[in-house]
């Protein structure tokens, strides 16, 4: 079946990354973009999410990382859920 350019294949994989300081890590691939969602612990013991987008743009590789700290996780999760629900409508 031919794929339309607007469609993307998304794969989600939980990965064990021994050289990564993540307590938990999962990877999502979507076309030429890979997302990593990692749970990490700061030196002060507080946990946070590190969400990275790795993208291949021509010959250039780009990485963008967003960190969401523990006190904001609930609000961040609600915003993601609300946005996903809006997409589904």
Cα separation of 59 and 40, whole Å?
30
Q: Taking all residues of the chain, what is their mean pLDDT, rounded to a whole number?
A: 82
The partner residues of 40 in beta bridges, in order of sequence, read 48
Q: Looking at the domain assignment, is residue 53 inside a domain?
A: yes
In this prediction, the residues of the chain whose per-residue pLDDT falls under 70 are: 1-20
Residue 39 belongs to some domain of the structure: yes
User: Which CATH number do you get for residue 72?
Assistant: 3.10.450.700
Q: How far apart are CA 89 and CA 56, in angstroms?
A: 30
Q: What is the end-to-end Cα distance of the chain in Å, rounded?
A: 26
**Could you tell me the residue range of the domain that residue 36 belongs to?**
10-88
In a domain, 2, yes or no: no
1 within domain boundaries: no
Q: Let me know if residue 78 belongs to a domain.
A: yes
Determine, yes or no, domain membership for 69: yes
| pLDDT value of position 32 | 87
Number of domains composing the chain? 1
Contact 48, 37 (CB under 8 A): no
Distance CA 68, CA 1 (A): 39
Q: What is the pLDDT of residue 59?
A: 87
Share of the chain above pLDDT 90, in %: 63
């Amino acid at each position: 079946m031919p794929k339309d350019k607007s469609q993307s294949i998304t794969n989600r994989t939980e990965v064990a990354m021994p050289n990564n300081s993540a307590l938990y890590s999962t990877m999502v691939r979507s076309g030429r973009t890979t997302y990593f969602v990692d749970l990490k612990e700061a030196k002060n013991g507080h946990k946070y999410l590190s969400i990275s987008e790795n993208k291949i743009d021509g010959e250039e590789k780009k990485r963008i990382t967003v960190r969401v700290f523990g006190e904001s996780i609930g609000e961040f999760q609600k915003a993601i859920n609300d946005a996903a629900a809006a997409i589904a409508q």
